[in-house]
Amino acid sequence: MPRVLGLSWAVAEAVLLALAGVLVVLGALIGYRAWKRSRITPEERERRRRSTLVAAGKMSDAMLVEIRDDLLFYSYGVRGVEYTASQDVSMLKQHMPHDFSTIDAVSVKYDPKNPANSIVLAERWSGLRVSKVV
């Protein structure tokens, strides 16, 4: 059997296959980490949704149905269809009124192409209309 630099062909092939395997694994790990880093977090996705609705959403009157922990439940009508929705406001606590009994009325911003996609509170807009206590 011929020898290359003192190694047999079988050993050289085994070393080459092992190096190729290591390169494939390293490439996969680097690709996975890059993909993971490029993904949008659920919090960022929700912030972008709210921002889009504030910028391009239609506004309508709504009724605040219930407040449970960090969830606001509300209902509103669009073109004769009644929608009931909820919004998690845990990330928006600094924009919430301290006393919910002062809320007079509620406005909702919704996507005209998908009216079920709606909000009552965002970073730069609030549909919670608070009465002035004298």
Give CA–CA dist 20/114, Å, rounded. Answer: 50
Q: State pLDDT tens for residues 29-79.
A: 999 998 888 888 999 999 999 999 999 999 999 999 988 888 999 999 999
CA distances from 126 to 93, 97, 99 (A): 12, 10, 15
Indicate the domain borders of the chain: 3-38, 42-130
Q: State pLDDT tens for residues 78-116.
A: 999 999 999 999 999 888 777 766 677 899 999 999 999
